[in-house]
Structure 1
Amino acid sequence: MSQELLHPTLESTPSFTLPLLYLLFAIGLSFRSRILRASFLAIILAISYRTVFYTSTSEAPMNYLYATCSFSLFFSALDFLAITDPYTELRRIGQVESTSSMPFFSRFMWCWKLILTPRGIGWTHEPTNVIPPRPKPQSRISFIISQLPSTIILIFVADASNLLLRSHPGFLPGGPSIADVGPLMRFVNVFLFGTSSFYALQLQYKLLSIMVTAVGLSHPENWPNLMGSWSDAYTIRRLWGRTWHQIMRRWVSAAGNLVAQKLLRLTPGTNLSAYTKLFIAFLISGIIHQMGDYSLQHRDFWAGGSLTFFLLQAAIIMVEDGVIALGKKAGIQDRKRIRLLGYVWTASWFALCLPIWVDPYFHDGMASGKLFSPIGGLWKGDWTGASLKISLPLNY
């Protein structure tokens, strides 16, 4: 049943919603006045709220995209339009001219570059300690050619991951819980969901880097890998802080600093300050994903599990830090066998808690969209992959 029949008051989501939000963000950021910038933040929030609660595309995955992108943009705008003074605190690497002294159009272009670089690549606030190394300076043609082999591999890896995921009844609309499987399959669930998300995002990023570089809008060295290495994921903190994308790091950190230092006046560098900022970061992530959960079917806002799931990540990281600190005091050193234990611990944690997030997320239709499957097309002539069902050891 379409969402229009379930919710007759929902209007169709305008296709220009996201471009409009980006445009408003860039225009608002171009003003020197903080009051004017804050007024644009209010407009962005109003449009984002309306998009999630009063409109629908009639396709659950597209609703999720609009919801999460809208509120991601809002929290990014909260940083640049309200929390941070971008003209005094943010600069491009090598920038000499003061941003506030630039003509309006030059400031507008400066703002576009800032907004479209959420990880701060090429800016003085780039978190170089957690971002993968940048590609070496090279010609556009050389960069594009170098990206093609890994992109082709990613296409097939991402497709295989999606085909496996869609062969699991727990990941289908209205299916059983992904916890209703054997103990071994709980770990396979983590693998299926983690790899499908990881490689799909990496593939989209690779394709974008090729297109943007090909038309001359960016340089090859501005495109380090979106994701870090799986080898870094031997703690839950490192998985979220190094292996996963760092697109949200800048603006969740800004909000955390606002709460911890300016509102609560906590001493910087203390555990209380650090963990306050950690919880704020995961709270924001939870809110963004909860908006996406609600938008899938526009039912009970609290039916989604994102907020609970992401706040649990902050709580378990705090526990994990304590255990690691005790281990160091006991003389346990960071060695290969300890890291191996860490990988088992991290996988076990997600095998336990992933259903909280994933069950409502997929049962409301996140995997209901059409799939383009090169494997299905080459193997069976089915480019949607709908006829490919892979047997999984669900009872083990």
Structure 2
Amino acid sequence: MADHAFIRYERIVLDTHNRFHSLVQRGDAKPWLLWHALLPMILPISALLIPRRGSCWLIRPIIFAITLSISVETIQYRRGLLGANGYLVGLVAVWWLIWSSTLLFFNNIERDFRRIERMRSAGNKGATSQQDGHANCREYPRSAKPNNTDKLVWQPYPESFSHRLGWTLALVLNMRGPDFSFRISSLDPLPPQLIPGHTHATKKHSCPRAKARLRAAFVRLLVAYLAIDVLKLILIWDPYFFGTLSAPAPSPFDRLSTFPGLVRFYRSLASGLGVYFALQFVTAANPVFFLGLSLTFPNASRALTATPLDAPWLYADQFGPITAVLDKGLAGAWGTWWHQLFRFGFVSAAKWVLSFMPTAISSHRSTRRAITVFVAFGLSGLMHGMGSYTQLGDTRPVSGPFLFFILQALGIFIQEICCRVVVHQLKALGHSPPRWLRRTGNAAFVLGWLLLTGSGIADDFAKGGLWLTEPLPISPVRGLMGRGWLCWRTPWLEYYDDGTYWGSGVRII
């Protein structure tokens, strides 16, 4: 049985590779080149390096138009196997358009954004402040500082080009903004010496020390690695996850078929856990790499950047507390517990949309929130829908990912209305719902709503070949089973030349 499952899986992977190469050879698809992935990120950086003064304001719309054209061409024609059978091709292209719009148009970075930087000495402070406009310069307490001569300052958009380059790179690559003034609210609080009036909150939610945070991130990375390895084996066992949606559940999950809906529950749960641990693995690698290197090579990290890379508050967990689901229901699940990587971009887009609406509408709190929620989930649905579109499988981008995310916005308001009605009725009867009842109701609604709406996106993942990806280089589980330890057996990159300038370069396979 095990041999049959692995043989079937390896045949599907081989068939997918052959189909992809056949599409490229026939001209039905074009390969995804490395510059197609990097240029939409490099172009906005180059635009942000040029201050928006005088006629220079035209540069940003022109560069954005070039970025847009590259992204549209990528989504329409470019395909690859790396990144979940092409899922990242569309998702990344749309996200960089959203993020570029956020930084180029939706916000005024020169006027409103500040970056937290380390200033080495009081002697440098005066010169730097005069040139670059430092503000709110406050020292760390000596016990918290890795170097007693360090100070942290709020650095606005710098005047000097070399300083502006590092500032802009950090801005583009820090989507949650942990070291910027636009940082999202779910991050760790900043030191009280930097933010006046937040001393009490900072003491209440103290940040772990750097080494403790590094150990926690390493544990998350290891747990996610092992969980992905076990889940991958479960997925290989079940042909459903490779596009055969009508396939019966394999043993021992076939016993669930006697109870309606349990097979669907197990497959949806496995799909959700696969996404969750994949994100945990990727996001935990950030503090392991950057915090680990900055602690190991402190002098090199200080010479490389003004950002205090050894500060633990830069590396807050990507996922919030699970209690947010119990206390706030579906809104807490998506707004607090789930990762908030795209939050600032989505909220900025919503504010931009609201700016075009009449004041009577945009100033109404409930209306503003409703528009913000639907814009955020609509953009998330667009991103994931385009990821589905650029996969090689027979996907349904609209009825799968896009509908799933729109339904999450609808579910938030349905739950809030239901809770309001129930609480009102209980209070009318002289009862106030206890905390355990509210939490039980929230958990039940979230679980039920995700099961009700999640089958479409889970089926789309399976049909698109999302689970054909080999995310790990080495598989301890398969190695112990005698199926081989090494998972990455083919190169990721190769040089490709179609005879044209624009169609040649390093190809992402």
* TM-score (structure 1 length as normaliser): 0.86
- 2:342 is equivalent to residue 319 of structure 1: no
Alignment match, 1:254: 348
| TM-aligned CA deviation for residue 291 of structure 1 | 0.7
Q: Equivalent residues in 2 for 1:115-154 (5 A)?
A: 115-129=172-186, 135-138=207-210, 144-154=214-224
- 2:63 is equivalent to residue 40 of structure 1: yes
Q: Aligned with 1:233: secondary structure?
A: helix
Q: Aligned with 2:356: secondary structure?
A: helix
- 2:300 is equivalent to residue 228 of structure 1: no
- 2:31 is equivalent to residue 12 of structure 1: yes
Q: Which amino acid aligns with 2:68?
A: L
| TM-aligned CA deviation for residue 58 of structure 1 | 4.4
Question: Considering only CA atoms, is the larger Rg found in Structure 1 or Structure 2?
Answer: 2
Distance, in Å, in 2 between the alignment partners of 1:186 and 1:131 is: 38
Q: Aligned with 1:13: secondary structure?
A: strand
Q: Which amino acid aligns with 2:480?
A: L
Structure number with the higher strand fraction is 2
The structure 1 residue matched to 2:439, chosen from 315, 339, 345, is 339
Q: Equivalent residues in 2 for 1:1-396 (5 A)?
A: 1-6=18-23, 8-33=27-52, 34-58=57-81, 61-93=84-116, 96=135, 99-129=156-186, 135-138=207-210, 144-176=214-246, 182-216=260-294, 218-219=309-310, 220-234=312-326, 235-265=329-359, 266-297=361-392, 302=397, 305-330=400-425, 331=427, 332-333=432-433, 335-370=435-470, 372=472, 373-383=475-485
Distance, in Å, in 2 between the alignment partners of 1:118 and 1:98 is: 18
Distance, in Å, in 2 between the alignment partners of 1:110 and 1:38 is: 21
Distance, in Å, in 2 between the alignment partners of 1:308 and 1:19 is: 29
**Structure 2 CA distance for partners of 1:208 and 1:20, relative to 1, 3 Å:** same
| TM-aligned CA deviation for residue 360 of structure 1 | 2.2
- Of the structure 1 ranges 212-221 and 280-289, higher mean CA displacement relative to structure 2 is found in 212-221
| TM-aligned CA deviation for residue 190 of structure 1 | 3.4
Distance, in Å, in 1 between the alignment partners of 2:481 and 2:393 is: 38
Alignment match, 2:498: none
- Of the structure 1 ranges 156-165 and 169-178, higher mean CA displacement relative to structure 2 is found in 169-178
Distance, in Å, in 2 between the alignment partners of 1:16 and 1:376 is: 35
Q: Aligned with 2:362: secondary structure?
A: coil
- Of the structure 1 ranges 17-26 and 315-324, higher mean CA displacement relative to structure 2 is found in 17-26
Unpaired segments of 5 or more residues in structure 2?
1-17, 118-133, 136-153, 190-204, 250-255, 295-300, 302-308, 488-509
Distance, in Å, in 2 between the alignment partners of 1:162 and 1:341 is: 33
Contact 1:282 1:310 in 2 (8 A): yes
Contact 1:304 1:361 in 2 (8 A): no
Q: Which amino acid aligns with 2:476?
A: P
| TM-aligned CA deviation for residue 335 of structure 1 | 0.8
| TM-aligned CA deviation for residue 313 of structure 1 | 1.1
Distance, in Å, in 1 between the alignment partners of 2:313 and 2:231 is: 29
| TM-aligned CA deviation for residue 244 of structure 1 | 0.7
**Structure 2 CA distance for partners of 1:277 and 1:146, relative to 1, 3 Å:** closer
Distance, in Å, in 2 between the alignment partners of 1:189 and 1:231 is: 25
**Structure 2 CA distance for partners of 1:206 and 1:178, relative to 1, 3 Å:** farther
| TM-aligned CA deviation for residue 24 of structure 1 | 1.4
Contact 2:32 2:80 in 1 (8 A): yes
Contact 1:253 1:281 in 2 (8 A): yes
Q: Aligned with 2:442: secondary structure?
A: helix
**Structure 2 CA distance for partners of 1:348 and 1:298, relative to 1, 3 Å:** closer
Distance, in Å, in 2 between the alignment partners of 1:135 and 1:236 is: 27
**Structure 2 CA distance for partners of 1:320 and 1:232, relative to 1, 3 Å:** same
Distance, in Å, in 2 between the alignment partners of 1:134 and 1:176 is: 51
Alignment match, 1:391: none
Q: Aligned with 1:228: secondary structure?
A: coil
Unpaired segments of 5 or more residues in structure 1?
386-396
Distance, in Å, in 2 between the alignment partners of 1:177 and 1:71 is: 33
Distance, in Å, in 1 between the alignment partners of 2:393 and 2:462 is: 14
**Structure 2 CA distance for partners of 1:162 and 1:239, relative to 1, 3 Å:** farther
Q: Which amino acid aligns with 1:268?
A: S
| TM-aligned CA deviation for residue 20 of structure 1 | 2.3
The ranges of structure 1 where at least 4 consecutive aligned residues each deviate by more than 6 angstroms after the TM superposition are 130-134, 177-180, 298-301
Distance, in Å, in 2 between the alignment partners of 1:114 and 1:11 is: 32
**Structure 2 CA distance for partners of 1:79 and 1:310, relative to 1, 3 Å:** same
Identity %: 20
Q: Which has the higher contact order (CA 8 A, sep 6+)?
A: 1
Distance, in Å, in 1 between the alignment partners of 2:104 and 2:247 is: 41
Q: CA RMSD in A?
A: 3.0
**Structure 2 CA distance for partners of 1:256 and 1:325, relative to 1, 3 Å:** same
| TM-aligned CA deviation for residue 353 of structure 1 | 1.1
- Of the structure 1 ranges 191-200 and 145-154, higher mean CA displacement relative to structure 2 is found in 145-154
| TM-aligned CA deviation for residue 357 of structure 1 | 1.5
Q: Which amino acid aligns with 1:153?
A: V
**Structure 2 CA distance for partners of 1:206 and 1:226, relative to 1, 3 Å:** same
Distance, in Å, in 2 between the alignment partners of 1:315 and 1:244 is: 17
Q: Aligned with 2:86: secondary structure?
A: helix
| TM-aligned CA deviation for residue 381 of structure 1 | 4.9
| TM-aligned CA deviation for residue 240 of structure 1 | 0.7
Deviations 1:228-285 (A, max 9, x none): 2333223111111111100111011011111123345423352122101111111111
Alignment match, 2:144: none
Deviations 1:305-350 (A, max 9, x none): 1111111111111111211222333334361232123212211111
- Of the structure 1 ranges 205-214 and 158-167, higher mean CA displacement relative to structure 2 is found in 158-167
Distance, in Å, in 2 between the alignment partners of 1:148 and 1:320 is: 37
Contact 1:178 1:189 in 2 (8 A): no
Distance, in Å, in 1 between the alignment partners of 2:206 and 2:67 is: 32
Contact 1:130 1:242 in 2 (8 A): no
**Structure 2 CA distance for partners of 1:58 and 1:247, relative to 1, 3 Å:** closer
| TM-aligned CA deviation for residue 366 of structure 1 | 1.1
Distance, in Å, in 2 between the alignment partners of 1:321 and 1:270 is: 15
Contact 2:393 2:464 in 1 (8 A): no
Q: Aligned with 1:262: secondary structure?
A: coil
Distance, in Å, in 1 between the alignment partners of 2:424 and 2:334 is: 25
